[in-house]
């Protein structure tokens, strides 16, 4: 073991734990979100150290990129909601007790102050939150440190086990692809991937069921920089996404990474799009969002009747089928991520 | 001792520490955004344990564990997005982004789009 690499591992782990601690201890939500994005990027480096380049790609694109964009737009929405002038102040029933303030006997807990002082620093107050109350500090610390110790003790006693790597290597020739992870995801354990696509779809439907979306609160004012940057970045992002999709059969890459890159491109476009443009046709959007899971299910059912079994493919047809499924999945993941960023159904749907 | 400290041995311990750290944040912090971040950090700790164990030894890493982690990351971002949408909805209805005890009291006008 190289001493320099070992030092690197320790520094990286210490950095991850430190960033996570500062993120969760923060009283400023914006700072917490930025620290969380940093955490995701550091995590991607850790995955590279663990010989998992696929996961590193996914973590950088999804864990840090898309989640970060979702968190930032949520903060903008929260700020917008908290700062909305209250029209019903006079005949408003007494607001429910704020547990953040009432539970906190620590100094510096959120002031419940009068409406005037609330409004004065509303701009900052909307994105700040009370520090954790002092009560229960030690019991939580003891419980979580004890849990960490137990987990580590369990991990230390664990015997080395080669896992399923030899089994996967043995069956690679019937999988239709040359990359172990893609073979597992889309052939050996395709149930997982189908249910995962269903999960993505479910999250999108859940967000849509909460109501129609507002215009993005912090829509950048139309200027030359953002549309220009998007014009330059969009072709690069599309080529990268399609390359990742195609590369998945023989190298790190695949539908999820490709979907995340294309979804990020879609988020940029939705930010830079002129206000006057109408929203895309919601029916097309619905078809696109469900296409991945339905296509996967249809091909899986075809496997039940024409092939070996449900969700399994004959090895000579496996490669084209996997590529079709991955293309559908990429499209659906990208569209769902953009839809989740925009949030809510399209206002055009009810007209 | 130093020879046995390959990443596959070291990182699962880091993952356990991250999980406990996230749990601490989840219990201690009230704001829902911070709680969502805490759950994500706990999830990252689990992924780290998985990938660390998969990378143990000199053989190539276990692709099944890596595939499950990849699935986990996508499921985590979906669940996070839905949780964030619920948080915004709660804030729109109550004016607070924390969970209040007792039945939901709507003390702001509901959003005009929700009629």
In a domain, A140, yes or no: no
Question: Is the domain of A194 the same as that of A119?
Answer: no
In a domain, A149, yes or no: no
Pick B69's closest partner by Cβ from A25, A36, A55: A55
Residues 6+ apart with CB under 8 A from B66: A52, A54, A55, A180, A181, A184, B51, B54
Question: Is the domain of A203 the same as that of A339?
Answer: yes
Q: Residue A174: its pLDDT value, please?
A: 85
| Rounded Cα gap, residues A8 and A198, in angstroms | 39
| Rounded Cα gap, residues B15 and A43, in angstroms | 11
- How many domains does chain B fold into? 1
Range of the domain at A188: 174-351
In a domain, A165, yes or no: no
In a domain, B21, yes or no: yes
Q: Rounded to an integer, what is the distance from CA A72 to the centroid of its chain?
A: 12
Question: Is the domain of A198 the same as that of A291?
Answer: yes
pLDDT of A217 higher than 60:
no
Q: Which residues in A277-338 belong to E strands, given as ranges?
A: none
Question: Is the domain of A181 the same as that of A269?
Answer: yes
Range of the domain at B95: 7-114
Question: Is the domain of A113 the same as that of A236?
Answer: no
In a domain, A339, yes or no: yes
**Residue carrying structure tokens 């890159």:** A261
Question: Is the domain of A58 the same as that of A187?
Answer: no
| Rounded Cα gap, residues A134 and A141, in angstroms | 12
Two tokens at A49?
Answer: 């150290």
Most confident of A83-92, A106-115, A171-180, B45-54: B45-54
Question: Is the domain of A248 the same as that of A314?
Answer: yes
Question: Is the domain of A336 the same as that of A190?
Answer: yes
Q: Looking at residue A251, what DSSP letter applies?
A: S
Pick A58's closest partner by Cβ from B16, B64, B70: B70
Q: Residue A314: its pLDDT value, please?
A: 84
SS3 A177: coil
In a domain, B55, yes or no: yes
Interval A164-212: pLDDT, tens = 888 888 888 888 888 888 888 888 888 899 999 999 999 999 988 887 7
Is the Cβ of A38 closer than 8 Å to some Cβ of chain B?
Answer: no
In a domain, A324, yes or no: yes
Give the mutation candidate from A20, A125, A136 for the B interface (greatest B CB count, under 10 A): A20
Q: Rounded to an integer, what is the distance from CA B107 to the centroid of its chain?
A: 30
Phi and psi (nearest 5°) for A279?
A: -65, 155
SS3 B98: strand
Question: Taking CA atoms, what residue in A is nearest to B2?
Answer: A1
Q: What angle do CA A44, A260, A321 make, to 5 degrees?
A: 110
Two tokens at A275?
Answer: 């206000």
Question: Is the domain of A180 the same as that of A108?
Answer: no
In a domain, B88, yes or no: yes
- How many domains does chain A fold into? 2
Q: Residue A228: its pLDDT value, please?
A: 86
Give the mean model confidence (pLDDT) for residues A71-83.
87
Give the mutation candidate from A81, A143, A147, A263 for the B interface (greatest B CB count, under 10 A): A81
A87: chain B residues, CB-CB within 8 Å: 109
Q: Rounded to an integer, what is the distance from CA A110 to the centroid of its chain?
A: 30
Interval B87-97: pLDDT, tens = 998 888 888 88
pLDDT of A272 higher than 90:
no
| Rounded Cα gap, residues A72 and A321, in angstroms | 37
Listed by number, the residues of chain A in 62-91 with a beta carbon closer than 8 Å to a beta carbon of chain B are: 62-63, 66-67, 70-71, 74-75, 77-78, 81-82, 86-88
Q: Rounded to an integer, what is the distance from CA A231 to the centroid of its chain?
A: 25
Q: Residue A123: its pLDDT value, please?
A: 53
| Rounded Cα gap, residues B90 and B110, in angstroms | 10
Question: Is the domain of A113 the same as that of A237?
Answer: no
In a domain, B87, yes or no: yes
Question: Is the domain of A217 the same as that of A80?
Answer: no
In a domain, B1, yes or no: no
| Rounded Cα gap, residues B51 and A148, in angstroms | 18
| Rounded Cα gap, residues A312 and A308, in angstroms | 6
Instruction: Judge whether B102 and A223 are in contact, CB under 8 Å.
Output: no
In a domain, A69, yes or no: yes
In a domain, A143, yes or no: no
In a domain, B2, yes or no: no
Two tokens at A315?
Answer: 């090895």
How does DSSP assign A168-222, residue by residue? HHHHHHHHSSS-HHHHIIIIITHHHHHHHHHHHHHHHHHHHHT-BPPPPTTPPPP
A200 and B74 in contact by Cβ < 8 A? Answer: yes
pLDDT of A101 higher than 70:
no
Two tokens at A171?
Answer: 């069956």
Interval A117-149: pLDDT, tens = 444 455 556 788 888 888 888 999 999 999 999
| Rounded Cα gap, residues B15 and B45, in angstroms | 4
The candidate with the shortest Cα–Cα distance to A8, out of B83, B11, B3, B40, is B11
pLDDT of A253 higher than 50:
yes
Give the mean model confidence (pLDDT) for residues A76-105.
55
B70 and A185 in contact by Cβ < 8 A? Answer: yes
Question: Is the domain of A181 the same as that of A246?
Answer: yes
| Rounded Cα gap, residues B103 and B87, in angstroms | 16
- Distances in Å between the Cα of B33 and the Cα atoms of A1, A63, B81 are 40, 16, 11
Interval B16-65: pLDDT, tens = 999 999 999 999 998 999 999 999 999 999 999 999 999 887 888 889 99
| Rounded Cα gap, residues A117 and A114, in angstroms | 6
In a domain, A161, yes or no: no
Lowest-confidence region among A12-21, A126-135, A318-327, B53-62: A126-135
SS3 A28: strand
Q: Which CATH number belongs to the domain containing residue B36 in this structure?
A: 1.10.287.3510
How does DSSP assign A74-133, residue by residue? HHHHHHHHHTSPPTTSTTPPPPPP-HHHHH--STTPPP---HHHHHHTHHHHTTB-PPPP
């Amino acid at each position: 073991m190289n001493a320099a690499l070992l030092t690197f591992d320790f520094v990286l782990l210490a950095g991850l734990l430190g960033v996570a601690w500062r993120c969760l201890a923060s009283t400023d939500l914006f700072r917490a979100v930025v620290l969380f994005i940093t955490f995701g990027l550091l995590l991607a480096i850790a995955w590279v150290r663990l010989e998992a380049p696929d996961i590193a790609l996914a973590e950088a694109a999804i864990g840090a990129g898309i989640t970060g964009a979702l968190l930032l737009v949520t903060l903008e929405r929260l700020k917008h909601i908290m700062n909305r002038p209250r029209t019903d102040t006079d005949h408003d029933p007494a607001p429910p007790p704020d547990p953040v303030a009432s539970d906190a006997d620590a100094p510096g807990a959120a002031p419940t102050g009068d409406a005037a002082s609330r409004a004065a620093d509303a701009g900052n107050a909307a994105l700040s939150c009370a520090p954790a109350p002092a009560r229960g500090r030690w019991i939580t610390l003891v419980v979580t440190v004890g849990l960490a110790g137990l987990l580590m003790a369990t991990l230390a006693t664990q015997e080395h086990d080669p896992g399923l790597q030899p089994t996967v290597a043995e069956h690679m020739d019937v999988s239709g692809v040359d990359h172990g992870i893609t073979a597992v995801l889309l052939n050996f354990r395709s149930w997982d991937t189908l249910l995962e696509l269903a999960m993505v779809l479910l999250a999108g439907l859940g967000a849509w069921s909460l109501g129609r979306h507002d215009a993005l609160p912090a829509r950048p004012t139309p200027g030359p920089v953002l549309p220009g940057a998007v014009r330059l970045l969009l072709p690069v992002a599309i080529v990268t996404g399609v390359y990742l999709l195609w590369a998945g059969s023989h190298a790190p890459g695949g539908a999820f990474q490709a979907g995340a890159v294309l979804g990020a491109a879609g988020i940029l476009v939705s930010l830079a799009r002129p206000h006057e443009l109408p929203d895309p046709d919601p029916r097309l959007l619905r078809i696109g969002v469900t296409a991945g899971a339905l296509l996967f299910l249809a091909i899986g059912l075809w496997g039940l009747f024409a092939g070996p079994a449900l969700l399994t493919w004959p090895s000579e047809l496996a490669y084209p089928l996997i590529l079709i499924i991955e293309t559908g999945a990429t499209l659906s993941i990208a569209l769902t991520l953009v839809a989740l960023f925009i949030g809510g159904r399209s206002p055009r749907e009810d007209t | 001792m130093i020879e046995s400290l390959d990443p596959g041995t070291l990182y699962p311990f880091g993952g356990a520490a991250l999980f406990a750290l996230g749990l601490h944040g989840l219990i201690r912090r009230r704001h829902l955004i911070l709680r969502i971040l805490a759950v994500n950090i706990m999830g990252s700790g689990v992924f780290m344990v998985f990938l660390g164990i998969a990378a143990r030894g000199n053989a190539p890493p276990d692709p099944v564990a890596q595939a499950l982690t990849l699935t986990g990351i996508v499921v985590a971002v979906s669940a996070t997005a839905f949780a964030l949408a619920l948080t915004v909805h709660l804030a729109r209805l109550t004016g607070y982004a924390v969970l209040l005890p007792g039945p939901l009291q709507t003390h702001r006008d509901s959003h005009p789009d929700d009629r």
